[in-house]
Amino acid sequence: MNAPQPARKPLMALDAALADLLARATPLAATETLATVLADRRVLAEDLVSALHVPPQDNSSMDGYAVRLTDIAEKGVVLPVSQRIPAGHAAQPLEPGTCARIFTGAPVPPGADAIVMQEDTREVGGDFHAVHIDAVPEAGQWIRRAGEDVTRGSVVLPRGTRLSAASLGLAAGIGAAQLRVTAKPRVALFSTGDELVMPGEVPPEQMKPGAIYNSNRFFLRVLLERLGCEVSDLGIVPDRREATLAALKTAADHHDLILTSGGVSVGEEDHIKPAVQQLGSLDLWQIAMKPGKPFAYGTVRRDAGAGADAQGHCHFIGLPGNPVSSYVTFLLLVRPFLLKLQGAAESEYQPPFKTMPVRADFDLPRADKRREFLRVRRNADGGLDLFPNQSSGVLTSTVWGDGLVDNLAGITIARGDLVNYIALSDLLA
Question: Can you tell me the distance from the alpha carbon of 187 to that of 171, in angstroms, rounded to the nearest whole number?
Answer: 29
What interhelical angle do 272-279 and 241-253 show, nearest 10?
50
Nearer to ligand AMP, 103 or 213 (CB): 213
Query: Considering the complex, what minimum distance in angstroms separates the CB of residue 421 from Mg ion?
Result: 32
Site for Mg ion in 192-211 (CB under 5 A): 193
Question: Can you tell me the distance from the alpha carbon of 251 to that of 272, in angstroms, rounded to the nearest whole number?
Answer: 14
Q: Does 215 bind ligand AMP (CB under 6 A)?
A: yes
Convert residues 250-269 into a mask of x (bound to Mg ion by CB under 5 A) and - (unbound).
Answer: ------------xx------
Kindly indicate which of the ranges 106-114, 226-234, 320-328, 350-358 contains the residues binding ligand AMP, using the contact rule CB under 6 A.
320-328
Q: Does 336 bind Mg ion (CB under 5 A)?
A: no
Q: Does 398 bind ligand AMP (CB under 6 A)?
A: no
Q: Does 193 bind ligand AMP (CB under 6 A)?
A: yes
Site for ligand AMP in 220-279 (CB under 6 A): 261-263, 265
CB atoms inside a 10 Å sphere around CB 28? 17
Question: Can you tell me the distance from the alpha carbon of 241 to that of 273, in angstroms, rounded to the nearest whole number?
Answer: 10
Convert residues 146-185 into a mask of x (bound to ligand AMP by CB under 6 A) and - (unbound).
Answer: ----------------------------------------
CB atoms inside a 10 Å sphere around CB 245? 18
Q: Does 196 bind ligand AMP (CB under 6 A)?
A: yes
Strand pairing of 59-60 and 143-144? antiparallel
Which residue among 64, 320, 401, 403 contacts ligand AMP (CB under 6 A)? Answer: 320
Q: Name the CA radius of gyration of the chain, rounded.
A: 31
Query: Considering the complex, what minimum distance in angstroms separates the CB of residue 264 from Mg ion?
Result: 8
Question: Can you tell me the distance from the alpha carbon of 240 to that of 237, in angstroms, rounded to the nearest whole number?
Answer: 8
- If you write DSSP's letter for every residue of 159-217 in order, what string do you get? TTPBP-HHHHHHHHHTT-SEEEEEPPPEEEEEEE-TTEE-TTTS-GGGPPTT-EE--HH
User: Cis link prior to 294 (omega < 30° from 0)?
Assistant: no
Strand partners, 177: none
Site for ligand AMP in 337-356 (CB under 6 A): none
Nearer to Mg ion, 280 or 320 (CB): 320
Nearer to ligand AMP, 82 or 260 (CB): 260
User: Among ligand AMP, Mg ion, none, what does residue 195 contact (CB within 5–8 Å per kind)?
Assistant: ligand AMP
Q: Which long-range contacts (CB under 8 A, 24 or more apart) does 310-314 make?
A: 313/252, 313/280, 314/251, 314/252, 314/253, 314/255, 314/256, 314/257, 314/258, 314/280
Q: Does 323 bind ligand AMP (CB under 6 A)?
A: yes
Q: Does 352 bind Mg ion (CB under 5 A)?
A: no
User: Among ligand AMP, Mg ion, none, what does residue 12 contact (CB within 5–8 Å per kind)?
Assistant: none
Q: Report the interface residues with Mg ion, using CB under 5 A.
A: 193, 262-263, 321
Contacts with ligand AMP, residue ranges (CB under 6 A): 191, 193, 195-196, 212, 214-217, 261-263, 265, 294, 320-323
